[in-house]
A and B are shown apart, each in its own frame.
Chain A
Amino acid sequence: MSQADTNPSVPALSVAGVSHSFGEKLVLDNVSVTVPHGTFAVLLGLNGAGKSTLFSLITRLYDNVSGEIRVLGNDVRRTPGKALQRLGVVFQSKTLDADLTLEQNLLYHAALHGLGRGEAKRRAAEALATVGLADREHEKVRNLSGGQARRVEIARSLMHRPGCLLLDEPTVGLDIGSRESVIGIVRGLVQQHGLGVLWATHLIDEIADTDLIIVLHKGKVLFSGRLPGFLAETGAKSARDAFRIITGTTSTEEEAA
Chain B
Amino acid sequence: MSKTAILDFTKKYGVLLGLGGVIAFFAFESPNYFFTASNFVVISKQSAVNILLALGEMFAILTAGIDLSVGSVAALAGAFFAGTTLAAGGNIFFGALAGLGIGAAFGLLNGILVTGGKLPPFIGTLATMSIARGLVLMYTHGRPIWGLPESFSYIGQGSFLGIPVSIIIMVIAFILVWITLGLTRFGRNVYATGGNIRAARAAGIKIKSVLITVYVISAFFAALGGMVLTSRLGTAQPNAGTGYELDAIASVVLGGTSLFGGEGWVVGTIIGGFLIAVLNNGMTIINISPYTQEVVKGIVIVLAVLLTTFEKEYWNE
Whether chain B is bound by chain A comes out as no
Residues on B close to A: CB < 8 A? Answer: none
